[in-house]
Every structure is written in structure tokens, then in C-alpha cells.
Copies of this chain bind each other. A is one copy, B any other.
């Protein structure tokens, strides 16, 4: 039994994705081209993601701020590489209050320039360092092809920007934030990831290097899910973030930035969901348990109320579906919205001292004694679901990860059953470009801690330098 409004993901993955976004009321297309309306279910999910990540940022000494939305053209251009990278995708404000502006301004595609400008005005001594700021905001990139959550002209994200006294400390920050992202993906979103360093071509415009978290979707396509950049002194020299160091000399700060976005919601859908709609890991589900009374007999309502109160007191987010609709309608509704656990309470069951639990991930139903310790049972069930979702995705990722030694192998894989391809690389941009001719395969990242699998570059056969993971990207 599948939800009729949802195309099967094995038949048409792209259509299935759009159908789930719509059926679960996560987002709607708007009349503003390339921009979406994030609807209540989608936004509640984003709030949950924000609250968990934000706490991790604060625990590691970061503070939130708010920078302007607009960037004057001159300020945007100061560093050089950044504007070159972003020029094709920024939107320009040229009129304000019915007058042509003397200097046009772009809507922030990212805020390195603004943070750098601000930092340069407040830092004077090494005693002022480090400064570790973050902001939750909207950014705009004029994309041509857009997909809800995955790629839209406007999206919501967080961008952390920090400055440090030494390169060691800044590099440590870059790695720490990557680790926070990896942990969040694996332990909260239940999405297994690989992490590594971007190639020169794929790194962030203006960065010395970019570390990345890469995930694999149900259909074998990769999703860049979070990045952490080390800038060295590039921006601090361009924007003059200088300070008096411990030797009483002027020095430039070392800088990082790191970000994740509403794209994570797209990842959650494409990794866990199925033909019945959204599937959410309990740790990130805004609503964890749906309680469904079947009929309105006094004992049914009493038990419903009792269980709702118990779960609420235990800090489990639950709600009662009390509308006058058929049980089947409500079951489907709870399913399509990805509620991890469903509890069904009916008179006939209660007469036999039974209630029914259903888990969203496997769609199993479990009949249990009505006198069971509901809180412990639900907690255990949610743990099982969280673990199961992770391992299901992990096994899929494993089964779709290949070691290749020549282009023919890559071609066959990317055509028939794409995934992550591990292959050696000489470091030459031409070889990277050659790879792209195969179904748009791009380097995802250089694996820094794994042993080489070959001595020769998978493309040109010359001496290989790095082990790279390649994949088709969203």
C-alpha cells in the first residue's frame, strides 16, 4: 500500500522527491521564480535542526550576531577571488527609495566580506582574539536550475566566521567544525557521511582549503552537505584585520568560515523517505509520536489522554489526532508526515488489554499490553528507529561505494548503479575535467587518512598523488 499522491522512488526519483516535499507539506513553489515557501512542517524541521546545531555552536564558544543583507560592490570586490567565484550568481540592488544608487549593492551570497570588514574595525590586540561568531540568515544565489531545499535562489543557512591569533588555532577550528557537522549528520540526522578536502577546483572561492561533509542519496547521487573553510590570511590582508601580537608587532589574523543550510532537509528526504512519504529520525522529528484514538468511547479517550500526559511529562513530543476522520486516513496522514511512532488505541483492543504501536521506518505494527510502561517502550522504540535508519543508510552507502582503477569501470558504474567511486588522481585539473565527461562525475573530496589503492592516476595513468572520492552531484 503506497500513498497514491506519491510517485514511486524507483520509477521516477525526481518526481518522487517533489511529491514527498508537497505531500508532507514541507514546502510549496512560490510565484517568485526559484524561491520556495517553507511551510509549517518544513519550518518546524528547520527550527529543530537549528536548535540542536546552535547549542553545539554555543557549547564550543561561538556567539550569534547579525550582519547586513546588502554588500556594496566595492566591499564585495576587495579580496578578488570571492567576487570572481560568485559574480555569475549574485543579484544586484540598483534602486533604493525611487532613486538610482550611486554604488550598486549585491544581496549577500555569503558574508566573508561583511565579517572581515567588521572584524577589521573591532580588533586591535591579540587579547581581542579569537572572535568566533555565527549567524543564521538567508542568502541569495541566482541559480538557473532549482529544486526545493536542494538548490534554490534564496535559502536559509548558518554561516560561522572566526578569526584567530595563529594558523594552528584557525586550522583546529576548521577541523572542529567539520567534526561537529559530521557528528550531527551521523548521530542526529542518521545520515552516514564521508569527509575530506575539496580539490583546488571545487574549493570555496578565496579559501586556502575547504573541508567537506558528503552524503549519498538513495539514488546514488552525492550531496555536498556542509563545508568548513580555512582562509589563512587572505581576507585579513585584503580587509586589514590586523592586531598587535604578543611581540608587540602588527600581525594579520587567521580566518575560517563554515556553513550548513536548509539543503539538509533535502538530504533527510532523499536518504530516509519512501513511497509513503517522509521518514524522519526521532532525534530531529518535531513531532515524535502520533496518538490515534479509534472511536470515542470513554475508555479510549481516557487511555489516549493518559498516554499523551505520560509522554509529555517525559519530554517526548507527541500529539493526539482527534479529528473526525477514519483511522485509515489518520494512519496515512501520520505516515506521510514522517512521524516516527504511532500509537493506536481502540475499544476492541483495550477489551483484550492491548494497544498497538507502529514504527514509521519499517512500517511494522506491534501489539502490546495496554498496561505496558509506555514511556520506556517509546524511548526504546525511538532509539531502535534512529539506529536502524542510520545503518540502513550506511549499508546502502557501503554497497554503492566502489574502488575503480580505470575509466571504463567508472563509466559502467555511473551509468548503471551510481554511487561513490574511489579512485586515485594525479592532481591534474585536466584529469578532473575528463572525469566530468562521465555522467557529470565530479570530485567529492580527497580522502586524507586512507591508504592509496593504486599507484597510477585513474584517468591518465601517471603517478597518482591523492585518493579521491568521485560522484555525480546534486
Chain A residues proximal to chain B, CB less than 8 Å? 28, 30-32, 35-40, 43-44, 46-47, 63-72, 75, 87-98, 104-105, 107, 114, 117-118, 121-122, 133, 137-138, 140, 142, 144, 153-154, 156
| Cβ contacts under 8 Å, A153 to chain B | 96
Which of B32, B66, B97, B138 is A105 in contact with, Cβ under 8 Å? B32
Q: Which residue of chain B lies nearest to A89 when distances are taken between CB atoms in the complex?
A: B97
What are 10 of the A-B contact pairs (CB < 8 Å)? A30-B68, A32-B68, A32-B72, A32-B75, A37-B65, A44-B64, A88-B98, A91-B96, A92-B94, A96-B142
Q: Which 5 A-B pairs have the closest CB atoms?
A: A97-B142, A35-B68, A40-B63, A92-B95, A38-B66
The chain B residue sitting closest to A144, CB to CB, is: B97
Contact yes or no, B91 A31, CB < 8 A? no
> Among the listed B133, B137, B154, which residue makes an inter-chain contact with A68, where contact means beta carbons less than 8 Å apart?
B154
Chain B residues positioned under 8 Å from A88 (CB to CB): 97-98
A106 to chain B, nearest CB (A): 9
Q: Are B117 and A31 in contact, CB atoms less than 8 angstroms apart?
A: yes
Question: Closest residue of chain B to A95, judged by CB?
Answer: B92
Q: Which of A43, A94, A96, A153 has the most CB of B within 10 A?
A: A96
Which residues of chain B come closer than 8 Å to A114, judged between CB atoms?
Answer: 30, 32, 37
Q: Which residues of B contact A37 (CB under 8 A)?
A: 65-68, 114, 118
In angstroms, Cα B135 to Cα A47, docked, is 12
- A32, A71, A104, A137: most-surrounded residue (chain B CB, <10 A): A32
For the complex, what is the distance from the CA of A46 to the CA of B105, rounded to whole Å? Answer: 26
A142 partner residues in chain B, CB cutoff 8 A: 96-97
